[in-house]
Amino acid sequence: MTHPTRDVKRGLSALMTGPVAQLIPASEFACDNVILARDRYSYEGNWLFCTFDQPDFLAARLGFGLGKFHWQDYGLEVTTSPINPLAFRVEVITSVGVRACLFSDDELGINVASQPSSLNVQLLDEGEELFRLQGWPQMNWNFRSPDGSIGADLQVLPRQMAVWPDCILPNNTFSMCIGTCEVTGTLFLESREVKVNGGAVFDHPRVLVRPHDVPSFGWYLYAPLRFPDSTFLVSYNLEDGLGHKDEDYSAGFLVLPDQSGRWLSHSQVRNLKMDSEGLPISWEAELSGPNVRISYRSRIVDLPTVHVSGGLSLQDSSSKKYLAFPLLMAVEGACTIDGITRNLSGGSGISEFLARKRYCPSCP
């Protein structure tokens, strides 16, 4: 897959500061990479993929996306051009199922307040705070659904960060930084408050809408994993619309409990099995880097949707399907580092899968 930005200046990102494909302690990571710069970029977001140590409250995904993205790259038809689009969601996975707030508005982004020199983002709607994200490297994430049925107050401590290689699409330049975090705090479900602790993968995407002479987008699979001993394994697999894997973007990293880490320059998904809705139900993965080899098997835990609030604007109007349903992974595998092999057992996390409309993924 041709990547003009990388071919010109390999090892750097178009929209992020610092080296690509290198793990850096969060305390040393450039804070400019996580602060919103709305005058420079078309779209920015902040997303948190949590797994918890509590037996009944398994995981959560929360965050927001602010600004414009050229959705035609994903095969979606867009008839209007909103001025200040905003989408945010709070999803909590319990042993019973998924409870979620899915919210979007074409103009409410104008109500998002941010600071140019610090990570401090807030959304007020008619005087009610729907989310606030502030602090770096120690972050506080406070999110509420408009009806008050679901929310989260989380203290998030990033430990290791990395700038991912850029993804160049026909109409978008997509850059992102990703990090591993410790998490404590409280979840709110109806009248219930639950204390939680665990870990999370944080990502901050940036997009600049501009044309490129590259193949169309095909599909991606994002798999942020955490294991019971606080080992993290994060990976992407990306294929273009011609069926070619993006070798730079299809990568990952491993962070061990002692905070030592390895960049994994090779990531390959195999035996990807899909359900009748076109969503993954299982796959195998192989990742490798210098003196590191990892293999694992992932299956998606079957979870019903228990409650959805916030309106249906993030659902497909034709199928009424829950878009970007949180896919809870259950993972078993093994890791060999410097000739020593150990099991990777009991891994979990929320994966994301997206395929361009009417595109059928190929997988060896």
In this prediction, residue 79 has a pLDDT band, given cuts at 50, 70 and 90, of low
Query: Does a structural domain hold residue 360?
Result: no
184, part of any domain:
yes
Q: Domain holding 20: CATH number?
A: 2.40.370.10
Residue 290, domain member (yes or no): yes
- 361 in any annotated domain: no
User: Is pLDDT of 329 > 90?
Assistant: yes
For residue 364, is it within any domain? no
Instruction: Give pLDDT, residue 126.
Output: 86
Tell me how many domains the chain contains. 1
Please, what is the average pLDDT of the chain?
A: 91
- Domain membership of residue 41 (yes or no) is yes
Q: Choose between 355 and 79: higher pLDDT.
A: 355
pLDDT in tens, 211-258: 999 999 999 999 999 999 999 999 999 999 999 999 999 999 999 999
Least trusted range by pLDDT, from 47-56, 95-104, 139-148: 95-104
Total residue length of the chain: 364
Domain, as residue range, for 264: 4-355
- Give me the pLDDT at residue 304, please: 85
Q: Quick one: average pLDDT of 318-335? A: 78
Residue 165 lies in a domain: yes
Q: What pLDDT was estimated at residue 313?
A: 38
Percent of the chain with pLDDT over 90: 79
Q: What is the pLDDT of residue 362?
A: 74
Assess if residue 210 is contained within a domain.
yes
Residue 119 contacts by C-beta under 8 Å, 6 or more apart in sequence? 31, 34, 35, 36, 133, 134, 135, 136, 139
Q: What is the pTM of this model?
A: 0.93
